Chain A
């Protein structure tokens, strides 16, 4: 397929994954904020902002923060910006995706861009966040059931799972750095519950560990679970599977490097012990995951999208 098309599918998928993640994170934190949780609101929203990679929220009050993260078009990572970008990318390759996919994404776009939507963000943010999350889920389901599972679909998987791995790593990193554990004598139970819910992981966690929440178990579940779809390991496994099937269809010799990069990350997550991670520092570990994801992103770009003409002719 055309490199430009692959690139657009990759970014469409990343932006939509980001919109979904952001919606869930905001939903959970608005929910926590409704009851007295012992965490000052500025602290909460600045933490949420950091875990979304948004800076410059410090000056804002709660209302403004939420507004920036949801509907501010000047903030590239706001939910509405992400949906606009996802649709822009889809529009470029409209003929390559199924019409059902286009219709769903278009519907979601028109929903969050309709006249008077600002008032609804103000009045009922939870409802709108839920709709965005549902809309993104629906899009993923439609994608899986209506599109050829060929190269194009695989690039969608690559985008989706690389975004998921990166956003989970950032979420965990910020949380572990800023939220004290119970042993420090503060009642932070509700915040750890919030972390699980932000990764839609509370129920999954309970099935494995019961409702006894401890930071190291939570870290183990969200980083290393093989079966839970919002764990870093799961995301990276899927990422590698998609990259391998793309490589099979390609004649480029450079795919070797990409296979090594993704294989190494999968191996690290498959064989790491949570005790080692905790003693070596969660931050160091997650930093390394993020760096490797960034390397994979760059390599995908170099091998499939913006490769140099000369190198491609030699192959």
Chain B
């Protein structure tokens, strides 16, 4: 491990005195410790800015988030504590050519996954051809039999996806997981850029960064393109579980960005297979619902009957083709962490192409040889529950205690279908402003993909940061933070 203390004449700034370089890919520095060309403008400005000035800007950005009420709720302790989302000052930068690979790779992936969902909910040829094991699909709790044979507009099941990418030590990107149900976090991408425009305006200009502000408009036109029966001036609404949901801020923010109504289940009425919202001027027909409510809660008549978040009769109206839900019901089968292992085959099967972005090696624990190997090497593996997200239900082998490993061993043996394992990845690291100087922390990247009449990926995304030194977990619920992601023009 080398730190910059060894070459003080080259790295004059005290800001970088605690910066580490080792086996992980560093986003800012190459292996010799020189700043990569696309980071040059940022690096120079960090050298010029005194630590006090950085600290002052950090405070200004925290205050901005506080005043905007950009918070999230941590479940599981003290009945949901509201916190400010920790935001790091130093942006993560991607070159135009890196981005174009990501863009092509994600477009390919989402196209294949939509074809996969279409197939699963109609003829299920991929299962008949034994490319994906039948029992894997039918044992998944997110597979919705109710969706069989129901056409959806343009055959688009996944309208909004947030796919988590990691950068491996060789500099290539790999997909860590797909989020195809109700991915969140895009409001952080948008507000984080607003903050950057205030606190690092000149660096932003010098670097030549592509804008992300059109996300709301792109989302709206994607949703409009998915109106049932090609209705010409469709009414679009955003369905939120309400003010107590952890992502309520984001729901309100996006509704405002798009200029659409933010509705709750109790605002909707289904009548004779049409869906309306109650307004003071009477009932107004709703065509497309961008729903931020899980499948289970969408309609108490069709799914969980104890749900008060949905609208009774909504699913029937959806089946009748009078209203569209984005994302469609039942997309969770395609982001099941065990199905994930088959995505490369899925891409080859439907598109006849090799995947542009690789998967991370994944062990299906239902498979006895894999299970044996994983159980013998629990201290080196990351184990994940297949249906969970947000960093819950996870074992990070190298950072776990023996008791935790024993606990997971028992859980795996009790229900092997419910777990997968991956080798512990050395995620790339990026410079972060922590405790008054610049330190390296592990990061991932979640771009947001929109799929309607065309595929749109706004150049950027949410770069999540594992703020604890050495930690590999970037989820906001597990002590992660975020930083702005700059994609350069070139």
Q: Which residues of A contact B (CB under 8 A)?
A: 1-4, 6, 91-92, 94-95, 151, 155, 246, 249-252, 304-305, 307, 309-310, 312-313, 315
Residues of B contacting A252 in the complex (Cβ-Cβ under 8 angstroms): 281-282
Contact flag A309-B269 (CB < 8 Å), given A1-B279, A250-B280: yes
A250 interface neighbour in B264, B267, B276, B282, Cβ under 8 Å? B282
Interface flags for B245-270 (1: CB within 8 Å of A; 0: not) read: 00000001001100001111011010
Contact flag A4-B243 (CB < 8 Å), given A250-B282, A252-B282, A315-B282: no
Contact flag A92-B282 (CB < 8 Å), given A2-B277, A309-B271, A313-B271: no
Q: Is the CB of A2 within 8 A of B263?
A: yes
> In chain B between 436 and 455, which residues have their CB closer than 8 angstroms to a CB of chain A?
none
B283 CB within 8 Å of chain A: yes
Q: Is the CB of B283 within 8 A of A313?
A: yes
A9 to B264, alpha carbons, bound, how many Å?
A: 16
B279 interface neighbour in A2, A92, A95, Cβ under 8 Å? A2
Chain A residue, CB-CB nearest to B272: A313
Contact flag A2-B281 (CB < 8 Å), given A92-B243, A94-B243, A95-B256: no
Minimum C-beta distance from B52 to chain A (A): 30
List 29 interface pairs A-B (beta carbons < 8 Å), by A numbering.
A2-B263, A2-B267, A2-B278, A2-B279, A4-B266, A4-B278, A91-B243, A92-B243, A94-B243, A94-B252, A95-B255, A95-B256, A95-B262, A155-B280, A246-B280, A249-B280, A249-B281, A250-B281, A250-B282, A251-B282, A252-B281, A304-B280, A305-B278, A307-B282, A309-B269, A309-B271, A309-B276, A309-B283, A312-B276
Chain B residue, CB-CB nearest to A1: B280
Q: Is the CB of A3 within 8 A of B255?
A: no
Q: Which residues of B contact A (CB under 8 A)?
A: 242-243, 252, 255-256, 261-264, 266-267, 269, 271, 276-283
Minimum C-beta distance from A238 to chain B (A): 19
A128 to B17, alpha carbons, bound, how many Å?
A: 54
Minimum C-beta distance from B270 to chain A (A): 9
Q: Is the CB of A95 within 8 A of B271?
A: no
A155 to B280, alpha carbons, bound, how many Å?
A: 10
Residues of A contacting B269 in the complex (Cβ-Cβ under 8 angstroms): 309
Contact flag A3-B271 (CB < 8 Å), given A92-B243, A95-B256: no
A6 to B279, alpha carbons, bound, how many Å?
A: 9
Minimum C-beta distance from B314 to chain A (A): 14
Residues of B contacting A1 in the complex (Cβ-Cβ under 8 angstroms): 279-280
Residue picked from A4, A6, A252, A305, most chain B C-beta under 10 Å = A4
Residues of A contacting B277 in the complex (Cβ-Cβ under 8 angstroms): 2
Minimum C-beta distance from B131 to chain A (A): 46
Q: Is the CB of A6 within 8 A of B282?
A: no
Residues of B contacting A313 in the complex (Cβ-Cβ under 8 angstroms): 271, 283
Q: What 3 A-B pairs come out closest when comparing CB atoms?
A: A3-B278, A304-B280, A312-B283
A3 to B242, alpha carbons, bound, how many Å?
A: 15
Chain A residue, CB-CB nearest to B277: A2
Residue picked from A94, A151, A249, A312, most chain B C-beta under 10 Å = A312
Residues of B contacting A305 in the complex (Cβ-Cβ under 8 angstroms): 278, 280
Minimum C-beta distance from A220 to chain B (A): 36
Residues of B contacting A315 in the complex (Cβ-Cβ under 8 angstroms): 282
A306 to B267, alpha carbons, bound, how many Å?
A: 10
A264 to B353, alpha carbons, bound, how many Å?
A: 76
Q: Is the CB of A2 within 8 A of B282?
A: no
Minimum C-beta distance from A4 to chain B (A): 5
Chain A residue, CB-CB nearest to B274: A313
Q: Is the CB of B262 within 8 A of A3?
A: no
Q: Is the CB of B252 within 8 A of A3?
A: no
Residues of B contacting A310 in the complex (Cβ-Cβ under 8 angstroms): 271
| Besides A2-B278, A250-B282, A312-B282, 18 other A-B contacts (C-beta < 8 A) | A2-B267, A2-B277, A3-B267, A3-B278, A4-B278, A91-B243, A94-B252, A95-B252, A95-B255, A246-B280, A249-B280, A250-B280, A250-B281, A252-B281, A305-B278, A307-B278, A309-B283, A312-B276
Residues of A contacting B279 in the complex (Cβ-Cβ under 8 angstroms): 1-3
A312 to B269, alpha carbons, bound, how many Å?
A: 11
A6 to B261, alpha carbons, bound, how many Å?
A: 13
Chain A residue, CB-CB nearest to B251: A95
Minimum C-beta distance from A132 to chain B (A): 24
Residues of A contacting B283 in the complex (Cβ-Cβ under 8 angstroms): 309, 312-313
Residues of A contacting B243 in the complex (Cβ-Cβ under 8 angstroms): 91-92, 94
Q: Is the CB of A151 within 8 A of B280?
A: yes
Minimum C-beta distance from B136 to chain A (A): 42
Chain A residue, CB-CB nearest to B242: A92
A279 to B252, alpha carbons, bound, how many Å?
A: 56
A269 to B279, alpha carbons, bound, how many Å?
A: 32
Chain B residue, CB-CB nearest to A310: B271
A243 to B281, alpha carbons, bound, how many Å?
A: 13
Minimum C-beta distance from A306 to chain B (A): 8
Minimum C-beta distance from A254 to chain B (A): 10
Q: Is the CB of B281 within 8 A of A4?
A: no
Chain A residue, CB-CB nearest to B237: A2
Minimum C-beta distance from B70 to chain A (A): 13
Minimum C-beta distance from A101 to chain B (A): 14
A315 to B280, alpha carbons, bound, how many Å?
A: 13
Residues of A contacting B255 in the complex (Cβ-Cβ under 8 angstroms): 95
Q: Is the CB of A3 within 8 A of B256?
A: no
A315 to B242, alpha carbons, bound, how many Å?
A: 30
Chain B residue, CB-CB nearest to A3: B278
Minimum C-beta distance from B273 to chain A (A): 13
Residues of B contacting A95 in the complex (Cβ-Cβ under 8 angstroms): 252, 255-256, 262
Minimum C-beta distance from A102 to chain B (A): 9
A47 to B306, alpha carbons, bound, how many Å?
A: 46
Minimum C-beta distance from A66 to chain B (A): 33
A4 to B255, alpha carbons, bound, how many Å?
A: 16
A4 to B261, alpha carbons, bound, how many Å?
A: 12
Residues of B contacting A304 in the complex (Cβ-Cβ under 8 angstroms): 280
A307 to B277, alpha carbons, bound, how many Å?
A: 12
Chain B residue, CB-CB nearest to A6: B280
A168 to B277, alpha carbons, bound, how many Å?
A: 36
Residues of A contacting B261 in the complex (Cβ-Cβ under 8 angstroms): 2
Minimum C-beta distance from A76 to chain B (A): 21
Residues of A contacting B271 in the complex (Cβ-Cβ under 8 angstroms): 309-310, 313
Minimum C-beta distance from B404 to chain A (A): 39
A310 to B271, alpha carbons, bound, how many Å?
A: 9
A106 to B262, alpha carbons, bound, how many Å?
A: 22
A249 to B269, alpha carbons, bound, how many Å?
A: 22
Minimum C-beta distance from A95 to chain B (A): 5
Residues of B contacting A6 in the complex (Cβ-Cβ under 8 angstroms): 280
Chain B residue, CB-CB nearest to A103: B67
Residue picked from B262, B266, B271, B279, most chain A C-beta under 10 Å = B279
A1 to B277, alpha carbons, bound, how many Å?
A: 10
Q: Is the CB of A251 within 8 A of B266?
A: no
Chain B residue, CB-CB nearest to A92: B243
Residues of B contacting A92 in the complex (Cβ-Cβ under 8 angstroms): 242-243
Residue picked from B243, B263, B279, B280, most chain A C-beta under 10 Å = B280
Minimum C-beta distance from B252 to chain A (A): 5
